[in-house]
Structure formats: structure tokens, C-alpha cells
Structure 1
Amino acid sequence: MMFSKKLIAGAVTSVALAGMGFVSTEVAIPMAAQEARANNTWVNDYIRYNNIKPVQIQNQEGTFNRWFGYRGGVGRPEGVVIHETATPNVGAAQYAYAFNKNWPHLYTYVHAFADDKAILNIHNTDYGVWGAGPSANNRYIQIELCEVGTTDQFARSISNDAYYTAAKLIQYGLPFIPGKTVLSHHDVSNTFGDTNHVDPDGYFGAWSYDMNQFYDLVGKYYNNLKATGSVDGAAQPAPAPAPEPAKPNPNVTKGSIWADNPASYSVPLMAFRADGTAKLSNRGLGNKTPWATDQSRMYNGHKFYRVSTNEWVEDTYAKYTPANY
């Protein structure tokens, strides 16, 4: 699916900013870091000078229900794509709320958000999302970096973003290869041509930062995490991510349905593809017949009841009775 920064930014602004105010306080930069800022190294130096550590990854399963594996299969991503949100001063939790509310009509979703205070994972990274066009969606984990307002906030958000990226590479046994296993959305646009987005280049540039410096930080975290379990190579490990929620099975709905289609001689059956879309089966059920069901799932505003391995009856033609226990 295509990813529209303008559309989702508008949705976030309307949903997440209503009635909220933001206060920014600039933090002084050490002299050495000010000098480094001229050649884009200042953020990584600032993180080191101030002993900034990333926060723990929080897993909160969102509403995205188009479960599909990557091109290599479920649990086989090929790397991580770095996005930025394009909306100033809106945090990870607010953005996650807006995505969960609006993805069905904006057709966009990502795995995670990072700001200066939180790393929020909202979709199991064993499965793909809709963030950067079909080629990237079938290959990569995708995280959005939230735009912040102060020097200190930016450095902390970069630390969190880099930690998530390094941790995911390690989780899936992937090597760290800049431009291949860690890419910007701009890299994805150049490689596949499915989108024309160039983030996070503009936002990074506004802070005198760039992807090369981000790669340096990811590489440092990646190597230290692999060697010691800590982003700085110290004896105390960095905060470990909480166990990621497993993909939920369709709702357990044990009981029976009464199948009937007054408009035809049979009740149509639907089959679901691996990407969550549906197709009409070449079989049907007889009218006014009972069928056992053990699962249900939502699709296009309707509930479907399973009556065989991959054959489902729409609620329009099904009267459900729960099982008695």
C-alpha cells in the first residue's frame, strides 16, 4: 500500500492534537558537541557526553488486522526502514492512536514509533505492514521517528530509534548492513520506486544530522548489544524488550450457525488469502442448514464464521448461537 505523509499527518493533527498544548525548552549543547555539529556528528557525541540510554520497547498490539508474512515467510524480515512522522511535537502514543483509528481508510500502518520518551511497537514484527509500498512492505520492519522540539529530545529520540533498529536486527539474526538491512524511506524510494518519499532526510538535515551518522549509532548499538547485551558495552545490559505479542488467531467463536440466503438457492462461502483479502469460494451451503463453527473474523464491516478449514459464512447469511459449556 502507498503511504501518504500528508494524509496521516492531517489525521494525527485532528485526532491527537485537539485541546493539547506543547512546551519546548532548549537544552545547552557542550562546546565539543557544538563544534561536532558542523560535520553532523553532534547528536551521537551529545548522546555519549550525556550518557543517554534508550528506553525499553513497549509492545501494545494495535488494530491492524491484515496479517501477512514477508516474501521469505512469517518471521523473516530482511531489515528495518526508518521513517519520520512529518508532524512536529506529536508523540509516539498519540501517533499510534491516530494510526489505529485511521488506517482502514488511509491504507497505512507501521510497526513502531519512537520519540524522546518511548519506543512503542504496535504490530508484531513477524508480519508486514503498509508503510512504504508493496516491495518494502513485503521485506522490512518499519518504524516512525516522531518529530520533537529540543536538542535533548532529538538526541534521545535518535537513541531510541537506533536501539529499536539494532535490537530488531539481532532479534531476527540479521547482519547490520547500511542501505541494505537498515534503510531510510528515501533509500526505499530509490531502490524500488513504489513511493517518492525522501524521509527522514529533511528532518535529519534540520538538526544537522544525516543517515550516515544514524548508521554509526545503530552500528555501535548493534555491536555492543551482540557482545555484551548493553548499548554501551558495559556490564549492565540495556533494557530488554518485553515479549512481543503473538499474532492473535481469529476470534474463538465456538457454537453453531443457521445458514440461509433468501435471495438465492445457496449460501455463498468466502475464502481468505494469506494477505487478509478474500475471494468467493466455488462452493456453497444449502439454505436452512445448521453448521458448527469455531472461529470468526471481521472483514469489510462484516463478521464471518468459519465452517471448514478456509470457508467462511458472512453474518448476512448466518444466525449464530454460542455453544453451551
Structure 2
Amino acid sequence: MISKKILTSVATSVALASISFTTIGQVIPEVGSQIQITQAATSAINDYINNNNIQPVSITNQEGTFSYWNGYENGVGKPEGVVIHETATPGATAQNEATYFNREWSNIYTYVHAFVDNTQILNIKNTDYTVWGAGPTANAKFIQVELCEVSSTDAFARSVANQAYYTASKLVQYNLPFTPGTTVLSHNDVSKRWGETTHTDPVGYFAKWGYSMDQFYDLVGKYYNQLKGNTNSGSTNNNSGNTNTNTNSNSITVNNPNGNYVPLVSMDGDSTRFTVNKVMNRALANKSPWYTDKIRVVDGVTYRRVATNEWVDQSYVI
């Protein structure tokens, strides 16, 4: 155990290019049919971020008072991803929250790595070491960041841009892939997966702004790709004809000239062997644009990911 470090404040800035968003998620039933045609729909918040050229702020490192210096289950400097929280304290800034936690953590038995609001990303614990934010299992695996509650659309957009950027930057820092639900989880996901807490954040707070974790994943993915320099950073495995990579081209348009919609598939398995399954109740509208973040080749067929586990055959891309 290392004693309390001297309080320091170091600002680090990363320039980001302008980023556009084409997101997924709006499902529109087709009248008279059992299949749902999924239309590409821009997230109002992500679209606002793009249209107003909102850029994340730099990360400020301000070491706090949390005096435990324990490595993750895989060792010091080896987190497995990031857990997304929100503070449930309307109007409190990142600095307000940091001050409170630095004073009270030994009484409330809670601490996180960072707080984010619409003007600041404040990292208060070296992310090489664990904190107390989401139960013992998640604490031993993940970096943890809290989003502060704000009161306007503009402030919310800026705050989630900052939180998404912080999340992406930590994935890149520790050479982790961006895998929604695995390397980036909500506290709600953690509660459901391990049952050691009952928190559901940030789902409810996001919903107040018409936002969702899927839309947040889109934003993280954009910053992740930007920070990686738009290079292929995914893992590759050629066993059993499977190849899994990230893609540089993040916007595609799909069309099925022989049908009324573009079919989707899901995949089961792992990096050594994937099984492709037809999605029976959802499909993509013809000539609709989609954000895609990953390419996967299974048995010689190339697929592009358009949702967490929904893929489209490359042959439908125009």
C-alpha cells in the first residue's frame, strides 16, 4: 500500500477532428408483416454534438485522497474496460463531486476514478489501480467514471461527449478493444451480470434526455476510432475461416435489389468459431445509411456490424 499522494493538477489535451454520426436504433413495424424494418435514425444528442462541432475537453488529472493502491485481478495497470455511472446529484459539478468523495470516501465506502460534467473531465485516481464503485467483481476489473447530472440539452450533449471521450481514451491507453457490453458497461449491466449491486445507472438518467446506452456506444466508437487514428485495431483470428477486424469506413448504405428489405444475421460463438443465424423479426430498410464499427469474415463471407449483435452481408452494401 502506498500512502496518500501529493495533490497535483495536470491538463492533457488531444485534438479531435470533426466527427459525423449515423446511428442505429429506431425500429418501425412494417404494416401487415411480422418483420420489423429498422430505419437508420440519427440520435438527436449525437447529431447535436456533430452539428454544433462540440469537442471533448482535455482530461485533468487531480490525484485525490483514496489511499488504497490495489492492482486489478490481472495486475497493476491491467483493467479490462470501463463502467459508466451517473451521480444522481442534480447540479453538482465534477469538482463538487470530487471534493465530496475525497472528504467522505472512508465513510461512504465509495470512490471512482473520474467525474465528468459539461465543462470538465476530472480524473482523481490513477487508473492503473482499482476503486470502490460497482461491487467487488467489477471493482477488480474496471475503470469507473461518473457522469454529473445537468439541466440543459446543450450541457447534456457536452457532458456525454466528455464521458464518451474519457471512456475511449482509457480503452486506447490500455490497448483494449471497444466491445459494447464487455469492455464498456453501464452500472446497470454490472448489477445484472454479477448481482452485487442494485444500481441501474445511467439508464434512467439517459432516458430523461431521450438517450440510450446504444447511442452512447456509437459516440464511444467514434472517439475510439479517432484516437486509434482510423487504423485497423481489432483482433484477427483465422481459425475455422473467421476473421474479426475493425473497419475504417464507418458509414455504409445498404440495399437488397431482390427484396423489400435487407436481411440481418446474428452470431454466436467466440473468436475461434462463429455460428451465423438469421434474424427473423428485424431487417434494414432498403437504401438506408448505417454506422458500422466492425467487419467479420465467417466461412468466406464478409459481414458488417450495425448493432451489438446484428450484422449485414457485405454484398448488400452499395
- For the aligned pair, the TM-score class normalised by the smaller chain equals 0.5 to 0.7
Q: In structure 2, give the amino acid aligned to 1:144.
A: E
- The number of aligned residues is 194
Q: Secondary structure at the match of 1:88?
A: coil
109, 120, 128: which is aligned to 2:111? 109
Match of 2:226 in 1: 224
Rounded Cα–Cα distance in structure 2 between residues aligned with 1:140 and 1:213: 21
1:1-325 matched pairs, under 5 angstroms? 41-227=43-229
Structure 2 Cα separation of the partners of residues 66 and 224 of structure 1: 34
SS in 1 for 2:148: strand
CA distance in 1, matches of 2:230, 2:123: 24
Offset of residue 66 of structure 1: 1.0
Name the CA distance, whole Å, in 1 between partners of 2:206 and 2:102.
Answer: 26
Local SS of the residue matching 2:96: helix
CA-CA distance at 1:40 after TM superposition: 7.4
Structure 1 runs (4+) greater than 3 angstroms displaced: none
Helix, strand or coil at the partner of 1:87: coil
C-alpha deviation, 1:100, in angstroms: 0.2
SS at match of 2:89: strand
For 2:69, the aligned partner's letter is: W
Residues 140-192 of structure 1, C-alpha deviations (whole Å, 9 max, x = no match): 00000000000100000000000000000000000000000000000000111
Q: Distance in 1 between matches of 2:229 and 2:107?
A: 44
Match of 1:243 in 2: none
Letter of the aligned partner of 1:130 in structure 2?
Answer: W
Query: For residues 230 and 54 of structure 2, what CA distance do their matches in structure 1 show?
Result: 18
CA distance in 2, matches of 1:138, 1:53: 31
Counterpart of 1:202 in structure 2: which amino acid? G
For 1:85 and 1:224, the matched residues in 2 are separated by: 28
State the distance in 2 between where 1:158 and 1:44 align. Answer: 9
Instruction: Quote the offset at 1:228 in angstroms.
Output: 5.8
Deviations 1:224-275 (A, max 9, x none): 110169xxx9xxxxxxxxxxxxxxxxxxxxxxxxxxxxxxxxxxxxxxxxxx
Q: Which protein is bigger by CA-based radius of gyration?
A: 1
* Separation in structure 2 between the aligned mates of residue 40 and residue 53 of structure 1, nearest angstrom: 18
Q: C-alpha distance in 1, partners of 2:147/2:180?
A: 18
The amino acid of 2:78's aligned partner reads R
**Per residue, is there more helix in 1 or in 2?**
1
- 1:205-231 deviations in Å (ceiling 9; x for gaps): 0000000000000001101110169xx
Query: Per the alignment, in what secondary structure is the counterpart of residue 219 of structure 1?
Result: helix
After superposition, give the CA deviation of every residue in 1:78-120 in whole Å (9 maximum; x if it has no partner).
0000000001111000000000000001000000000000000
| Local SS of the residue matching 1:66 | coil
The aligned amino acid for 1:80 is: V
Q: Tell whether the 8 Å contact from 1:40 to 1:209 is kept in structure 2 after alignment.
A: no
Q: CA-to-partner distance for each residue in 1:289-313, whole Å, 9 max, x for gaps?
A: xxxxxxxxxxxxxxxxxxxxxxxxx
> Is the CA contact 1:40–1:208 (under 8 Å) kept in the aligned structure 2?
no
When the two chains are superposed, the root-mean-square deviation of aligned CA atoms in Å is 1.7
Q: Deviations over 1:118-141 (max 9, x none)?
A: 000000000000000000000000
Structure 2 residue runs of 5 or longer lacking an equivalent are 1-25, 29-40, 232-247, 249-318
SS in structure 2 of the partner of residue 186 of structure 1: helix
Q: Could you tell me which runs of 5 or more consecutive residues in structure 1 were left unpaired when the two chains were aligned.
A: 1-35, 234-325
User: For residues 131 and 195 of structure 2, what CA distance do their matches in structure 1 show?
Assistant: 18
DSSP-derived class of the 2:101 partner = helix
- Return the letter of the residue paired with 1:138: A
Q: Distance in 2 between matches of 1:192 and 1:125?
A: 22
Q: Distance in 2 between matches of 1:169 and 1:120?
A: 17
SS at match of 1:86: coil
C-alpha offsets along residues 46-70 of structure 1, whole Å, 9 cap, x if unaligned?
0000000000000000000011000
The amino acid that maps onto 2:141 is R
